[in-house]
Amino acid sequence: MQLPTRLFGKQQQIIDVHVHTFFEQPDAREIARGNGAEFTLEGLRKECMANNVQSVCSLYNNFDQPLDSKTIAEQKQSFQSIVGVGIIHPLKLKKDSLAKTEKAIADGTFKALKVYPGYYPVFSIDKRFHPFYKLAGKYNIPVYVHAGDTLSSEARLKYCRPLDVDEVAVDLPDTNFIITQMGNPWFIDAAEVTYKNPNVYLDTAGLFAGMVSFSKLYSSRIQYVIDYIEDPRKILYGSDWPMVRMKEYIEFIKSIVPKQMHQKVFYDNAKRLFKL
């Protein structure tokens, strides 16, 4: 079901550009258990309802089935607030992967793409990604680039430095890129790449996955990024649910982002970028 607008009244409407809906993912299940999140579609719907979240961009990050548009479409049927994101796995591409991706974009199932450098040993600047980046440019949808800290200790950090995004953003000026989790811990690099390139954005997701005590550590860093970029249109609110609970994460980001920027960061920027 779609969430009725009238429920929200004058409260801040929110688009969360970064949630996960691969409900079988063991690490995510573990963290969700720890923080009390109900890691199901119904649990997601309830948290959205409770927190005025109107749309969620869903990263169905099942690497055994990358570009799974069928599952996203099914989830969207049950919960219309879901916005689909196609996951690209460069080591599992098939001959028809690009064509399938284009079909899912054209029919509205995917409104963004995501690459996960670090989770596989491939840099975001790898040429295998370029046809997908160009496709995103053609349809004017953004590409998320995983940057910084990884959930798995088996991932490799050298592949996911946000500075690499500068390279693809310059080479492909018609494609918009989103650096995830502000590049944590490379906040300075992420801020510079976002400030410098008109086609680069960043999201606020997952800065203290499962560890609320870390929030103090991040406040000054987030503040630095906001001040450095000097453009509230470049920052997108994302939580990384179920790694964090929506309520506490909204409050955390709200407490750092200046009030006059809330409408853009929590809603307008995503609405414009994802054409929602």
Contacting residues toward Zn ion, per CB under 5 A: 240
Q: Which residue is nearest to Zn ion (CB)?
A: 240
Our CB check for Zn ion shows the closer of 44 and 172 to be 44
* Tokens 């295998």 found at: 128
Our CB check for Zn ion shows the closer of 166 and 240 to be 240
Residue 145 C-beta: closest distance to Zn ion, Å:
12
Residue 152 C-beta: closest distance to Zn ion, Å:
12
DSSP state of 82: E
Strands 82-88 and 53-59: parallel
Residue 19 C-beta: closest distance to Zn ion, Å:
8
Alpha-carbon gap, residue 87 to 60, rounded angstroms: 7
Residue 57 C-beta: closest distance to Zn ion, Å:
10
H or E stretch covering 13: none
Residue 46 C-beta: closest distance to Zn ion, Å:
20
Burial class for 68, CB neighbours closer than 10 Å (0-12, 13-18, 19+): buried
Our CB check for Zn ion shows the closer of 20 and 45 to be 20
Our CB check for Zn ion shows the closer of 124 and 172 to be 124
If you write DSSP's letter for every residue of 183-251 in order, what string do you get?
GTT-HHHHHHHHHH-TTEEEE-TTTTTT-GGGHHHHHHHHHHHHHHH--GGGEE----BTSS-HHHHHH
Residue 40 C-beta: closest distance to Zn ion, Å:
17
Our CB check for Zn ion shows the closer of 98 and 211 to be 211
Residue 39: how many other CB atoms lie within 10 Å:
21
Our CB check for Zn ion shows the closer of 189 and 240 to be 240
H or E stretch covering 40: none
